[in-house]
Amino acid sequence: MSKAVADLVDQYVVMGNPIEHSKSPTIQMAFAKQTQQQMDYVTCLVPIDQFNSVADQFFLTGMGCNITVPFKEQAFAYANVLTERAQFAGAVNTLKKQSDGSILGDNTDGIGLVTDILKNHGGKIKDQRILVLGAGGAVRGVLGPLLAEHPELLVIANRTESKAVALAEKFQARGNIETTGFQQLQGAPFDLIINGTAASLAGELPPIPESVLSAKTWCYDMMYSQTLTPFNRWATDLGVEKCIDGLGMLIEQAAEAFYVWRGVRPDTAPVIGQFQK
């Protein structure tokens, strides 16, 4: 592509550190080809202490970006305008330059998770007993959309329960939400368990009892892997009904970001199929 042509193409990036592993360019360019959008999308490695300056430089000509670890909270502070779901999440994974030059901050993680469960896997959230593991940024980004589907109960379990309590207080007006420490988990099995901890990245399991599972439980690990994550392997070995990893969530949240930027909603099924080959 010549420089003159490239200058006419809207520019998008994913910012993070590290970033070389990101599948976002492949996903977003597949969406662009499918919907015939003239755009380019690349990775951007951001030095840990330089997020604002890198973002400022990008938005001199760029149109939008995705934000990944560890910059979602900095992106939240950077945005001039926040969507409601970004405000509740306290984190931003999508930035968009608006027509007046202001920067819109959004969070598409939660809708990506919910869409994957409901649309791609035919699962249920409404009237279900849901256990969410972890109380960090990943969980904070998905609680609002989960509660919007009206589960019977949503329990946040975390190693340090005080962090779960602080998170639950922010969302308590949106549904029936409780908290517990990992070691205090007890009671009837859950219908859906979502692992929002980073344990799978370290090849570890959250320390939760087998009693939270039944043969009808669905388990969802927000991490994705070429093989079963440690959490999903544990659940599979214990005979749960279904295990899902975060690939579909990744692609669905990317599709929502694409819609925010371009006003066109891509078909995610072919892209999910591309990664599952």
pLDDT digit of tens for each residue in the chain (277 aa)? 444 444 579 999 999 999 998 999 999 999 999 999 999 999 999 999 999 999 999 999 999 999 998 899 999 999 999 999 999 899 999 999 999 999 999 999 999 999 999 999 999 999 999 999 999 888 999 999 999 999 999 999 999 999 999 999 999 999 999 999 998 998 899 999 999 998 887 888 999 999 999 999 999 999 988 889 999 999 999 999 999 999 999 999 999 999 999 999 999 999 999 998 7
155, 167, 76, 48: CA torsion to nearest 10? -90
Tell me the C-alpha distance between 71 and 52, whole Å. Answer: 10
Stated pTM of the model: 0.93
Q: Tell me which residue has tokens 């202490």.
A: 49
The active-site residue, picked from 3, 33, 72, 124, is 72
SS3 27: helix
Domains of the chain, CATH where assigned: 3-107 (3.40.50.10860), 110-248 (3.40.50.720)
Of 222, 63, 204, nearest to 143 by C-alpha is: 222
Catalytic residue status for 72? yes
